[in-house]
A and B are shown apart, each in its own frame.
Chain A
């Protein structure tokens, strides 16, 4: 296969970026998207050029490190898939693809396709944890959690924080990420103690980072590699409403 790439190249956060055209030759349909880029990069290195910078780590779709826009869709056209698990057999010989970094005020481009997602870490730091001391680990069945609640909490906790939701959202909102991180706590007994402070603090931090608000279009849900549903966002809104009405702190 031969793939024509139009890639965003930007040397540093402050540098002026531009699109550069590359041709990926001898692409095997069995290659992952990142392996295809590895081949392009090897040739660039041989030619003494700067390779295309992109984030990746586990390359099995579970770590949340990789991610960029493939022809206008975060992580590419396959639903529920990170770009490292997107395979070249998905594309046709001779296709033209545009590769761009996530675009958001809160995600500064560091180099080429790599963006700074530490804004997500700061949202977690604002309250995505339990800080009360509850003593030693309780007996296995001492704290009962209903099957439905436990399943939903696990589904929310599946968020790998890749940033695709922000990238896909027309408002560059991190509502899906923030709501998943709020939900995984709000659904479990351990999350009840700081329930109200948590949602307010995390939403505050979300706003301070410069993310937009949710327009309920669900583009985020559609591109999410972990298929986190926007019912999480409804839950976050509900939690926020409750905090507004009932919080005594």
Chain B
């Protein structure tokens, strides 16, 4: 990376471009992740075959490194950006009110840094519990991991069910502002679609976090 590009990407606009691009890429990943994990509803075999197909694909390592990089850039940029933004107003207002009118300020938009950090911590636990969690072999083929069993094991504990539901709801809150904000940051603007995007952010956030939260709840009550 040449020096002028690095300088440009560290500007306020360049920073937001990077946060927006990586955020939207992570959002796309999350849709794929949810779609794949929803195979748990199709039963043990379908889920394990899918998990095995993923893990045995030679592209999985570069993709995982890419995914990790997306997370690292997104988190690093968001935290440094947050610190710089705090410095931009050293003296706080005695009284500050919601401007109303056309403002899109929401609980979600005001808590991005908090929900983001909690979700990041959750992801470490999540990866440890599943990717690096208890390893079982399937009966049919010793080379295939029985990830289904691992999942049933984790979600038989009501603590983990509650933990995952809470975490996925925070993911939803993060997405509720994040999706529309990401598009705005990368410069997407359209007289009609920009307004709809705010609404679609909410709809997609509800679908994704609802879908993610449904998995542990379903496992707990059916197994």
Contacts and interface: CB of A to CB of B under 8 A. Distances in A.
Interface of A: 6, 8, 19, 69, 71-74, 77, 79, 98, 100, 103-106, 168, 170-173, 175, 200, 203-204, 206-207, 210-219, 221-223, 227, 229-231, 233-241, 243-244
Contacts of B189: 231, 234-235, 238
A217 B188 contact: no
A22 B223 CA distance: 68
B92 A103 contact: yes
A221 B94 contact: no
Interface of B: 5, 8-9, 11-17, 81, 84-85, 87-106, 109-110, 112, 177, 180-181, 184-189, 194
A172 B89 contact: yes
Given A98-B94, A211-B88, A213-B13, A231 B194 contact: yes
22 contacts: A8-B94, A69-B93, A72-B96, A74-B99, A98-B95, A100-B94, A103-B93, A168-B99, A172-B88, A212-B85, A215-B181, A217-B106, A219-B99, A222-B99, A222-B101, A223-B101, A236-B13, A238-B189, A240-B14, A240-B17, A241-B17, A244-B17
B89 A105 contact: yes
A171 B184 CA distance: 17
B161 to A, nearest CB: 33
B109 A206 contact: no
A237 B96 contact: no
Contacts of B103: 217-219, 221-222
Contacts of A77: 100
B79 to A, nearest CB: 13
Given A214-B16, A219-B103, A72 B87 contact: no
A74 B184 CA distance: 24
A112 B85 CA distance: 24
Contacts of B12: 173, 175, 203, 206-207, 211-214
B99 A223 contact: yes
A217 B92 CA distance: 18
Given A213-B84, A213-B85, A237 B105 contact: no
B95 A69 contact: yes
A244 B14 contact: yes
A225 to B, nearest CB: 12
B11 A103 contact: no
B185 A207 contact: no
A215 B109 contact: yes
Nearest to B104: A218
B201 to A, nearest CB: 11
Contact of B88 (A204, A210, A227, A243): A210
A44 to B, nearest CB: 21
Contacts of A170: 85, 89, 110
Given A207-B12, A215-B109, A215-B112, A237 B89 contact: no
B9 to A, nearest CB: 8
B85 A72 contact: no
A100 B94 CA distance: 8
A218 B102 CA distance: 7
Nearest to A238: B187
B184 A203 contact: no
Contacts of B105: 217-219
Contacts of A204: 11
Contacts of A79: 100-102
Contacts of B96: 69, 72
Contact of A213 (B8, B16, B100, B188): B16
B187 A235 contact: yes
Contacts of A219: 98-99, 103, 105
Nearest to B189: A234
Contacts of A234: 184, 187-189, 194
A216 B104 contact: yes
B89 to A, nearest CB: 4
Given A100-B93, A216-B184, A222-B100, 12 more contacts: A72-B95, A104-B88, A172-B89, A200-B8, A212-B88, A213-B16, A215-B112, A216-B181, A218-B102, A237-B186, A240-B13, A244-B9
**6 A-B pairs closest in CB distance:** A238-B187, A72-B97, A212-B88, A234-B189, A213-B12, A222-B99
Given A72-B96, A105-B87, A241-B186, A207 B109 contact: no
